């Protein structure tokens, strides 16, 4: 069973504090390495884009997808309990939640791109995360 990234994040928070990059203390989580990147939409940075990395490899007992959210300058850092992601290859997806969505009301925020970039099986964005720090090339969405 694959768990959404935020579920794994909450599990790690409840288990105990994490350690620095490159290691994870939660049982079953593989070691993590730092991952940073940016998203450009029509050539410009865009704030609030949800970025999710879907593993194309077997990462072990706990299945999860590292995720991040872009800042005003379009940059993001992946998180999954600690900062980073396990080493391996990923399909990357993007959603642009409606700013009117209120998490207090529940439900799922509407994607302003209507799913154009959110299907991992059809994603044309693939990356390999290596040992050490990973500063990715910008993801260019049209």
What's the pLDDT score for residue 26? 61
Residues 6+ away with beta carbon under 8 Å from 69: 48, 49, 50, 51, 76
Give the sign of the dihedral formed by CA 102, CA 106, CA 110, CA 116.
positive
Q: Which stretches of the chain are DSSP H helices? A: 5-15
Q: Residue 19 domain-assigned?
A: no
HSE-CB for 84 with a 13 A CA cutoff: 23
Q: What is the CATH number of the domain that holds 52?
A: 2.60.40.10
Burial track 106-137 (b if 16+ CB lie within 10 A, e otherwise): eeebebeeeeebbebeebebebebeeeebeee
Range of 44's domain?
A: 2-11+25-141
Q: Residue 18 domain-assigned?
A: no
Token pair, residue 61, equals 């007992």
Q: Residue 16 domain-assigned?
A: no
pLDDT along the chain (142 residues), means of 10: 43 36 59 95 96 93 90 92 87 91 74 94 97 96 94
Q: Residue 17 domain-assigned?
A: no
C-beta separation of 84 from 35 below 8 A: yes
Q: Would you mind telling me the total number of residues written for the chain in this entry?
A: 142
- Domains of the chain: total: 1
């Amino acid at each position: 069973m694959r768990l959404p990234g935020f579920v794994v994040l909450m599990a790690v928070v409840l288990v105990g504090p994490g350690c620095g990059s490159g290691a994870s203390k939660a049982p079953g989580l593989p070691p993590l390495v730092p991952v940073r990147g940016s998203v450009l939409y029509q050539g410009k940075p865009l704030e609030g884009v949800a970025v999710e990395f879907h593993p194309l490899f077997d990462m072990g007992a706990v299945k999860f997808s590292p995720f991040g959210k872009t800042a005003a300058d379009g940059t993001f850092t992946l998180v999954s309990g600690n900062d980073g992601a396990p080493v391996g290859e990923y399909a990357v997806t993007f959603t642009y939640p409606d700013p009117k969505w209120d998490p207090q009301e529940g439900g799922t925020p509407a994607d302003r791109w209507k799913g154009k970039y959110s299907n991992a099986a059809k994603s044309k964005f693939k990356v390999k995360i290596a040992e050490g720090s990973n500063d990715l090339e910008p993801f260019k969405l049209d």
